[in-house]
Amino acid sequence: AQSVSQHNHHVILSEAASLELGCNYSYGGTVNLFWYVQYPGQHLQLLLKYFSGDPLVKGIKGFEAEFIKSKFSFNLRKPSVQWSDTAEYFCAVNADRDDKIIFGKGTRLHILP
Amino acid sequence: DVKVTQSSRYLVKRTGEKVFLECVQDMDHENMFWYRQDPGLGLRLIYFSYDVKMKEKGDIPEGYSVSREKKERFSLILESASTNQTSMYLCASRDRSNYGYTFGSGTRLTVV
């Protein structure tokens, strides 16, 4: 069975700091990987996704993630965060040809102005 | 843009009541899903459906059932609501060729 582990439950950063949120998954086969974001009071939105090809994926709002197959990781990065990045971030995995996506428990990111 | 609409944003129900949560999508997606979201637990899959009248249990189906009589509508049913079902419920749909999900805005259910 697939599972997703997010390393940090709560992260606090100052504006302009660099961000890296860790995500590891467990599944031996081909996977599709996602990062979703939920801003306060809003619904979940897709930040970026990896299906195949270049393991460095660029998403919206300056976010990127790198798929490292040997480490079963898909860490989210942003070089300089803004106050508006305050949100909860979810890593998710979908085994290829499977209908469902499994989510991690989420990381709450709080950016200090 | 795909739109996933959940009929209620907030609901308050009494213990033992039968509760229906409705979800409608407008893009002819095959797959639809119900999750519940709880602090510190992330999103947990309750049930999903890959076609009309087809359903599969997710990770936490106990106490819930679902109905999919039409492709665009996927209902979550709490047969006899209990306080531990107080949660945020999220519906999602997916086109099989797209892999990613589109989520509704959620229904915050409180069972008293």
What tens digit of pLDDT does each residue of A3-44 get? 899 988 999 999 999 999 999 999 878 889 999 999 998 888
3-state SS, residue A30: coil
Express each pLDDT in A42-95 by its tens digit: 888 999 999 889 999 999 999 999 999 999 999 999 999 999 999 999 999 988
Going by C-alpha positions, the residue among A22, A25, A38, A112 that lies closest to residue B106 is: A38
Sequence-ordered list of residues with C-beta below 8 angstroms from that of B73, at least 6 positions apart, any chain: B22, B23, B24
Q: A45 contacts in B (CB within 8 Å)?
A: 103
Pairwise CB contact (< 8 Å): B106 & A46? no
pLDDT at residue B1, rounded to an integer: 64
Q: What is the DSSP secondary structure assignment for residue A100, as one 8-state letter?
A: -
Q: Would you state the structure tokens that stand for residue B49, as one six-digit string?
A: 């459906």
Gyration radius (Cα) of chain B, Å: 13
Check if the beta carbon of residue A7 is closer than 8 Å to that of residue A65: no
Express each pLDDT in B20-56 by its tens digit: 999 999 988 889 999 999 988 889 999 999 889 999 9
Q: A90 contacts in B (CB within 8 Å)?
A: 42-43
Express each pLDDT in B69-98 by its tens digit: 999 999 999 999 999 999 999 999 987 766
